[in-house]
Amino acid sequence: MGREITISSEDANKPAHSLDRTSADQALRLQRLSMSFRSYLFTFTLVCFCWFQGMIAGSIVFHYGAFVLLLNLCFFALIKTGHNLRYSDPSMTFAQIITSIIPAMYVMYFLDSGHVRSVFLYLGIVPALYGILGLNTRQFIKVAVWYVIVFSTMLSLLLVYRPTAMNLSLEVIQLLALILVMSQMAWIGGYINKLRSKLRKRNIELQSTTKQLEEALEQLGEVARRDELTGLYNRRHLFEVLDQERNRVHRKHETFSVCIADIDFFKQVNDTHGHQVGDQVLRKVAHELNESLRNIDCIGRYGGEEFLIVLPQTALNGAIIKAERFRQHIENLSFSSDGESFQVTLSIGLAEHKLEESVDDTIQRADEALYRAKNSGRNRTVSEQD
């Protein structure tokens, strides 16, 4: 059987996971309806047996079967078309329970034996057990009252139109038993519903707590990967990224480049303007470099006034172009201290990773290029080829 669910225009705007949950709920409701229909089939078998024993006419069997089939088709259509989702109780548990007693009472009216009627009365109570799946105490009480009213109405009709087909004492005892059973069922069902509600609330609270814990752990993990002063990734995370990039490159036979940038004469900035200004320079340079990168690039504070930039899918020639852009951008920045403006520059060393070498070897070659950039007068970009 297909699981086609009609989606309204409002549902079309819902997120995919919400629609998936709705489809799963609808499938569960159809499964419960199938369980209910099988219960009707058992009762229908008993009705056929009563007809076979000559207790009721064949027309009663037909009427019972037709009513049950029509009733279940109506609920099936409501679920398949999604109209049940408009109700406060999409499972229609209450509606299914209160309608289930009617065909049973119809058959009971035409039975000539009160003892046989009691059997159908027991079977008629069975659908009320499904109320445990979704009814609260108030709804259980309504079901109990409804059952008593319908049974009392059937007895009244028997007393008026078929008095010879009933044993008044037996019927009264059955009525009292029905009241007692339904009262107990309402109390127990309501109690189970409260337990289920508490469990659902605890599950929601647990899920919320788990989500908050996961978010907190994620935030802690992010903090552990960040440099406190600049907000860039720290040295440990940089090496994790480098290892991941090396593994990716070896799988796909691509390449990446490493860029080490150092702020020139940074000690003089601290000595002249103070460490607070020096920290401001570090944060500003870190921010500007980070803003200049692609989403796939990664930058971190390598140590002191040095920054290490990982440039995935970038050969040395492309890395040189990018590094020069970084250097020129920082050179054009202006800083101030006590009304005095000043500028800083970068020396940059570059190296392209080679398949046969380790990450440490690549960094060593970039560091050597940086050393040559500083010895060549600073404020320049030097690659391993220079």
- Residue 384: per-residue pLDDT: 75
- Is this model's pTM higher than 0.85 or not? no
Let me know: does 255 contact 352? Beta carbons within 8 Å: yes
Cβ-based neighbours of 255, under 8 Å, separated by 6 or more:
249, 313, 314, 315, 352, 353
235/4: higher pLDDT: 235
* Domains of the chain in sequence order: 9-209 (no CATH), 235-383 (3.30.70.270)
Cα 11 from Cα 333, distance rounded (Å): 52
Cα 154 from Cα 138, distance rounded (Å): 24
SS3 135: coil
Cα 135 from Cα 211, distance rounded (Å): 30
193-197-200 Cα angle (round to 5): 135
Per-residue pLDDT tens over the stretch 68-82: 999 999 999 998 998
Q: DSSP assignment of 225-256, as one string?
A: HB-TTT-SB-HHHHHHHHHHHHHHHHHHT--E
Q: How many CB atoms lie within 10 A of CB 149?
A: 11
Residue from 335, 325, 331, 333 nearest 378 by CA = 331
- Residue 7: per-residue pLDDT: 40
Per-residue pLDDT tens over the stretch 60-110: 999 999 999 999 999 999 989 989 888 888 888 888 888 888 888 888 888
Let me know: does 348 contact 323? Beta carbons within 8 Å: yes
Q: Which range, 32-36, 166-170, 269-273, has the best average confidence (pLDDT)?
A: 269-273
Q: 20 pLDDT band (50/70/90 cuts)? A: low
Cα 252 from Cα 132, distance rounded (Å): 58
- Residue 9: per-residue pLDDT: 42
Average pLDDT over residues 308-323: 94
Residues above pLDDT 70, as percent of the chain: 94
Per-residue pLDDT tens over the stretch 42-64: 888 888 988 988 888 999 999 99
Cα 369 from Cα 303, distance rounded (Å): 17
